[in-house]
Structure 1
Amino acid sequence: MKFLFYLVHEYSIPVFRPLVSYLLTEKKEYDFRFFLSEKVNQLVPKDWDEFRKLYSLEEANNFNPNFVLCAENYLDYRLPGLKVQLFHGVGIEKEAHYSIRHFFDIYLTSGPLVTKRFDELAEQYGYFDVIETGWPKFDHILNFDSSRPEVFGEKDTDKKVILYAPTFSRRMQSAEILAATIPQQIYKDELWLIKFHELMSPRLKNLFDSLEGENLKIVKDSDITPYLHLSDIMISDTSSVIYEFSCLDKPVITFRTIGNFEKGLDIQDPEQLRPALDLLLQDSNYKKAERLSMLRRVNPYLDGNISARVFEALGKVHSEGLSAKKTKPANLFRKAKIWSGYY
């Protein structure tokens, strides 16, 4: 089998990392290539061989993959092969997570809560298959070297680390409100890390620029994974990174989250932030059972073997074909955006 990894945004890289590692170590008989944007090409891991990188439709057509793996919301429909959606997050509270944009033949879902929705959509549209495999980035997180990185120097290694990772969505983001209160919440024996989503508004990022100091740092790295391991508590809102942190069995504070309140300790007022932090720093197991129960509904596969399930599922499709028999809609409006270079 041949696979083409489609990368336009850097948030796709950690989703694909464990899949690429699996192919290189366990499935050397499979061939694969990367279809890259110029921006992402500057950021991909150095061990992703140059000869595997493709930049044009002609090169992709010559490679002729069986499957195109994508963690974006869209891809170039002119690429050969079955199009597979792996998702760039598990933002299950966001309706956009369930948007059917008519690009994909297969949706690989993270867990039963997500699978149920996509099964209903598959029945409605009739042209794509849904297979529950788990979300590959959890492999990347769980198999990551969790030794404490040298981020702030030796003198800071005993400090508690608070990670604030808000979503970028205007309707759900917390950054605008919490930017004013966070400086007052920081204790001297704490380090606060601020990690923005790649698509966060520059205006909101600028609110935090002047806050940097000895006890607050803005993370510039594209991959949040090292900082998930480094941190003791996460603060967020309705970002899917909450579930990424929860898979490490660590507590989360959510600010005015939308749905699935069991995933963290939710607060509605900025003044509740410090008391919530003090509570979780004292008792990291507070509401642990509810938090892990929610995670099991979103992604129950925490054995580090999701990548194996992905290729096992696609191998079965390759040998047996899709179960869905209808054809995709014409989708001319979105295809026109591909032609014009809008995406």
Structure 2
Amino acid sequence: MERSPRRYLLYASLSYAYAILRPLQEEIRRRGDEAAWFLEPSCPDMLLLDERRISTLRDAIRWNPIAIFAPGNHIPDFLPGVKVAVFHGYPMKKRIEKIDDHFTIRGWFDIYCTQGPSSTPYFRMLEKRHGFFKVYETGWTKADSFFRNSNHVERSSDRPVILYSPTFTKGISSAWDLLPTITHLAATRQWDWIITFHPKLDDQQLIDDYQRMADKMPNVEFARLNKGLETFLRSDVMLCDSSSITVEYMMLGKPVVTYRNTHPGPHLIDVRNADDIGQAIETALTRPPELMKEIDRYTSHHEAHRDGHNSSRVLEAVDDFIAHHAGHLHRKPLNLIRRLKLRLKLRYYHL
């Protein structure tokens, strides 16, 4: 006897959610089930023609999904279905003095789908401490696209392409410091540049400054948003700072030069002085064997699963949770202030 298709909701609050949730959508469809998207007002509508959008929270409730997947830090508690955290990046301790925000438990989720040794053990400890969620090591859904595809892209020229993709947090981001350096390198080196910003980097003056620089230089492309794998494949080296995007990039076997990284290591070419960036990129373009070996070791620590089936494991985690744990865990914290703030943000005023 055939079962009815299961319904799942893909919850997006920022543009980076598309690359994280689409591999999951693909797996849901492959199984004969149904996926729909709910976009917060902060998330630009970049849905494809064959992707279903649910426009209102009332419609999302009527959709009655068995699970909701969110790559952000929150998820509406009033929506039906198992609440699943699939993360928006890898754990990177950007500030030396702070615990990584990756591990903050806010009381929204039933399941955390971890990525590998850099995240699973700590989440297992948190699971025992709190008792109201379960942890499953599935691998990151976004990584499926890295290991399923041929990873080939047509190049318009033979010149090296440098991708600059800084993080957004002031005090950590290099975006404010490196505009003069990148302008100089673009004018003096035989390289092409792709510059993309994190969607949370919202300094309009800075964005306009980079856009004006790119408009004046034929070898510089400024794209407000990074398209993930598509952008990565077009470049040879990344220039960055302390963003977790460096892990994603290195999973493709490509080197990263960082400016004042808060946790440098042998997997990176880190510089403290902006004047050293040009030579560091030159070195990275040669792909030193020891560096490439360290990159493989480091990325395996973050992403343990490279078979292209992370999304499948996430759906299996939902099935296991429903079969064995739903209704048997401690109650989540009341979270009254957070719940009220989220309702105000989404303009949902019903109990």
| TM-score w.r.t. length of structure 1 | 0.90
Counterpart position of 1:197: 198
Tell me the SS of whatever aligns to 1:42. coil
* Equivalent residues in 2 for 1:34-113, closer than 5 Å: 34-37=37-40, 40=43, 42-48=45-51, 52-94=52-94, 95-113=100-118
Distance 1:297 1:317 in 2: 26
1: CA distance between counterparts of 2:289 and 2:36?
43
Q: Judge which range, 127-136 or 54-63, deviates more.
A: 54-63
Counterpart CA distance in 2 for 1:3 and 1:337 is 25
Question: Do structure 1's residue 8 and structure 2's residue 4 form an aligned pair?
Answer: no
Equivalent residues in 2 for 1:170-319 (5 A)?
170-186=170-186, 187-201=188-202, 202-212=204-214, 213-259=217-263, 261-319=265-323
Contact 1:109-1:134 within 8 A present in 2 as well? yes
CA contact (8 A) 2:264 2:270 kept: no
8 Å contact 2:199–2:225 — kept in the other structure?
Answer: no
Amino acid at match of 2:211: D
Aligned residue type for 1:195? T
CA distance in 1, matches of 2:175, 2:20: 25
SS at match of 2:257: strand
Letter in 2 for 1:136: T
Partner of 1:139: 144
Give 2:27's match in structure 1, choosing from 22, 25, 35: 22
C-alpha contact 1:37 1:55 (8 A) present in aligned 2: no
Q: Which amino acid aligns with 1:219?
A: A
1:168–1:221 CA distance, 2 compared to 1 (3 A):
closer
Aligned partners of 1:105, 1:113: CA distance in 2, in Å?
21
Please name the residue that 1:127 is paired with: 132
Alpha-carbon RMSD across the aligned residues, in angstroms, is: 2.1
Q: Relative to 1, partners in 2 of residues 1:188 and 1:305: Cα closer, same or farther, differing over 3 Å?
A: same
CA pair 216-291 structure 1, distance change in 2 beyond 3 A: same
CA shift at 1:342, angstroms?
6.6
Classify the secondary structure of the residue corresponding to 1:53.
Answer: coil
Alpha-carbon shift at residue 266 of structure 1 (Å): 1.2
Q: Indicate the percent of aligned positions where both proteins have the same amino acid.
A: 29
Distance 1:115 1:262 in 2: 23
Cα deviations by residue, 1:179-228 (Å, 9 ceiling, x for unpaired): 12112223442101111111113233233223211121112455132120
Q: CA deviation at 1:144?
A: 4.4
In the alignment, residue 210 of structure 1 is paired with which amino acid? R
Change (3 A) 1:55 1:283: closer
Distance 1:3 1:230 in 2: 33
Q: Say whether residues 1:331 and 2:335 are aligned partners.
A: yes
Match in the other structure for 1:340: 344
- Note if contact 1:6-1:69 (Cα within 8 Å) is conserved in structure 2: yes
Contact kept, 8 Å, 2:118 with 2:302, in 1: the verdict is yes
- Of the structure 1 ranges 275-284 and 101-110, higher mean CA displacement relative to structure 2 is found in 275-284
Runs (5+) with no aligned partner, structure 2: 1-5, 95-99
Counterpart contact for 1:236–1:242, Cα < 8 Å? yes
Q: How many residues align?
A: 333
Q: Deviations over 1:95-136 (max 9, x none)?
A: 211111111111111111111221222222221111111111
Find the aligned partners of 1:149 and 1:200 in 2 and give their Cα distance.
30
Relative distance call for 1:284 and 1:40 in structure 2 (3 A) is same
**Uncovered stretches (5+) of structure 1, i.e. residues with no partner:** none
Answer whether contact 2:147 2:308 (CA < 8 A) is retained: yes
Distance in 1 (alpha carbons) for counterparts of 2:82 and 2:127: 16
Distance 1:176 1:40 in 2: 25
Q: TM-score, normalised by structure 2?
A: 0.88
Answer yes or no: is the 8 Å Cα contact 1:237–1:255 preserved in 2.
Answer: yes
Contact preservation (8 Å) 1:251, 1:284 = no
Distance 1:324 1:204 in 2: 50
CA gap of 1:260–1:283, structure 2 versus 1, over 3 A, is: closer
Q: Residue by residue, what CA displacement relative to the aligned partner does 1:278-324 show, whole Å, maximum 9, x if unpaired?
A: 11222353412222111111112122121111112222222222497
Alpha-carbon distance between aligned partners in 2 of 1:61 and 1:336, rounded to the nearest angstrom: 18
